[in-house]
Amino acid sequence: MTELAQLPVDPDEGFPQAFLFAFGGTTYGITWYVDAAESQLPAARAADPTMIIDVTGDRSADAVTAKNPAPQGILVLTVDRRDADAITPLLRRRVIPGLSYAAGQLLLVVRTATIALGNLNGTGSYGSVLDVGVGPMAGAA
């Protein structure tokens, strides 16, 4: 696999987050959002904005304790190609760290996904980390 560049995501800017990304002469629209049951969030957010949402499905001891279970949600990535006369949807799906995703001629790999409650519809340094590699799909010109 070729070396992947860092996708310029800034988790401290919160979620949802959208930006344009130029790669290989093409402009892509990148959007990230977290889908979580609202019923889980208000009390937890008020109690501790640094509480991590389980967006990976990892119910390990690090992600949850019997006394204080982590709220569950999913991290969703959408990618579209921006042309002068059209926007073409390429990808909309839940992402899991360690898996590769194809979006047109882009290869995206989520290396780390840690989302804090304080970064849902809010900005600030609450401990969220979103490390995403990006590069060309194999065989892409």
What digits encode the pLDDT tens for the residues 67-94? Answer: 556 788 999 999 999 999 999 999 999 9
Question: pTM of the full predicted structure?
Answer: 0.86
Choose between 9 and 59: higher pLDDT: 9
CA distance to 3, 56, 121, per residue, from 115 (Å)? 25, 10, 12
Residue 68's domain comprises 5-136
Q: How far is CA 65 from the centre of its chain?
A: 24
Tell me if 14 is assigned to some domain.
Answer: yes
Tell me if 141 is assigned to some domain.
Answer: no
Tell me if 36 is assigned to some domain.
Answer: yes
The total domain count for the chain is 1
Instruction: Give the range among 48-57, 66-75, 130-139 with minimum mean pLDDT.
Output: 66-75
**Helix, strand or coil, per DSSP, at residue 56:** coil
Tell me if 55 is assigned to some domain.
Answer: yes
Tell me if 33 is assigned to some domain.
Answer: yes
Distance spanning both ends of the chain, measured CA to CA: 16
Longest dimension (CA), the chain: 53
CA separation for the pair 120, 86 (Å, rounded):
30
Contacts of 3 (CB under 8 A, 6+ apart): 135
Per-residue pLDDT, 63: 46
5, two tokens: 């560049």
